[in-house]
Structure 1
């Protein structure tokens, strides 16, 4: 559908974050399924009836201002986020095109998406601040937050334009029983019963993954990805300074961060290879289904699992190179993947658009210190 005569269409880049525990991934779930994706809350569904909202009218406020959007709490509370976007009264339904898909249970410190808002004739585009405020004001789910919004060119694409994606995986050692982990850390990290990890060996193993390789061995069999060649720019293992939620008597718990940076990751590539571990050492790693149905992000979760296996002594660092060079998506290393709940999409970066709100202090005027002209 083309722009209506005289209407104004503006494209925005929106950064948002979420705790993935309650969601079936970030993608919207269509149909009558009970599972819900993050975009079900952020996106407008053409089948969704319009919410009862106060329409813009002369005198209701400056055009493009929060009051002009009717951003007043209703007695019933905030709207569902997918309906919140409808509150923008766009001429055409608002669709979010996401930068990076995440699986069920995976979190995002900062994901990104672009969307178009087409205003009626004579109405100027919303300011990015008003757009972000409008979405946040009506997102009912407390686990979703819009961080910032910026104007971008009309041909900008959130997925194709991304130049860097960084994933963070959180581990905790010394957790002999699930109830030993703080309730505030549950579903935020992977608890391991082992008291320590051989971090030097993990770092050595990670070096084999750096650079440009065919990562087919970390990809699910039957993946539709046309090429499994990717360039891994960074893979690191480092101690976490410690969780503020750990009590003094729980100092035996030690937290660790694994980070992976690449321009893109394989469909079903981010976590694997714990088949070498016995059930007692894996800390409850999830088994992949016969069709690799655990979804996106498995590359990082498979790489994480390989490095954890090295850290626990179940694999030697040199074996990681053997696994990588096998290019075998049906190998024994595919049998287990690191749990989804320890994985966070940390950042998505764009050339000439500066950093992202999850990891870079920014002013509100836009990426890179200025608003990108339309």
Structure 2
């Protein structure tokens, strides 16, 4: 409820615009608290969160098990650097490695750091193990990718907003159409050390590749002695109705890149998981991070891994995702011209004659539902996996009203 006569949101929005570099264009909503799948703004208005921090909040806001782990660790130890070993480190690395079915884990902080780590490891593996000539390593990537915004990563982005005016660009990448196995295969040569892909392209609008594409990538990588790196930073950790999006087609990559939900919406945590013949190429001093694998991060991430180990959240995502799919597909021809759903992750193409994605998200926010637009008239829905059937129905009902005008 509104707690005083004067709304605080307009002033807070103005202050943010005044004092912040404009590298984002947020909706004019100012959040002050949250619980589960619900957010409350500074004026007391509640919103259903259908973005979940781009999958960083898979377990909802302030999940009690994760908050308890954070509180307990805050009272003990928060940072040592990797100059020493702390008592949460081995448990985190072991339990995440077991969840991934891999030998080793290299913890970092952000998703972009995990991607950069994967690139460095793949290049070093290429030189030391595959025998690629010095300075010639190449990585095949896909059009429409989103792996982060460092200078190296934007060098192989095809999104001009992310890429333009940040050159000179880092060489060593070949871009091919997403979902085109023939083009990917043709791009691999003797200097190719890895194929780096999102199993589902999130920023592009939850684009699911054709059936058989990921198994085909796995096969050609094996045949050509190339690492298959799966960026599961958004798609992984329960979002799609499985632990990893690759699981839907029985594919096991050589390297998982993980982040977002790994920190439980509390602290930034990312990681690379791979076998010893890949991650073992790194030696002391060749890569690292002061905050990577810090005690607070590990304490929270251990509980995230344990939540996933129960399978409960993967099942919820799969079951509730079918309810979401049914509701959204019922809007095809009624304002939606495209729907893509995998678990509790959906990309919706709105008829551009009706409105832009931004306008749709603004209208949804006015109705108490928060979502995010991307690329023109496309919006994404990615609610926390703790959302209920009734809350899914509420989100679909509000979208129905928005589309009806």
Common fold by TM > 0.5: no
- TM-score, with structure 1 as normaliser: 0.27
TM-score by length of 2: 0.25
Instruction: Specify which structure has the higher proportion of strand.
Output: 1
Normalized per residue, which structure has more helix?
Answer: 2
